[in-house]
C-alpha cells in the first residue's frame, strides 16, 4: 500500500479496507469498480472473556495498516 500511495507501485486490497484511502485520493482505482472474488479469510480470535493485550495490540496495528 505504501508504494502505491507514494506513486511508485500498485496494490490490490479489499475495497472495504481501503475505501477511506480511495475517498481521500491517497489511492485510486485505475480500472473503476472492477472486483475479483477471493475466498481466503484470516481470523484472529481469542477465548471469550479472556484479555490478551498482545493480541489486542496486534489487531489495533493491523487496523492502522489498512
* Predicted local confidence at residue 60, as pLDDT: 87
* Predicted local confidence at residue 22, as pLDDT: 93
* Predicted local confidence at residue 21, as pLDDT: 93
Q: pTM surpassing 0.85?
A: no
CA–CA separation, 44 vs 15, rounded Å? 20
Do residues 15 and 9 make contact, with C-beta atoms less than 8 angstroms apart? Answer: no
If you ran DSSP here, which 8-state letter would residue 25 be given?
T
| In the chain, domain spans | 2-65
Q: Which residues contact 21 (CB under 8 A, 6 or more apart)?
A: 1, 5, 27
* Predicted local confidence at residue 20, as pLDDT: 93
To the nearest 10°, the Cα dihedral for 54, 56, 57, 62?
130
4-63: per-residue pLDDT in tens? Answer: 888 888 888 888 889 999 999 999 998 888 887 877 777 777 778 888 888 889 888 888
Amino acid at each position: 500500500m505504501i508504494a502505491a500511495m507514494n506513486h511508485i507501485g500498485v496494490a490490490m486490497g479489499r475495497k472495504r479496507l481501503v475505501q477511506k484511502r480511495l475517498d481521500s485520493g491517497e489511492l485510486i482505482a485505475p480500472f473503476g469498480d472492477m472486483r475479483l472474488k477471493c475466498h481466503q479469510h484470516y481470523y484472529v480470535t481469542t477465548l471469550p472473556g479472556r484479555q490478551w493485550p498482545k493480541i489486542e495490540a496486534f489487531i489495533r496495528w493491523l487496523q492502522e495498516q489498512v
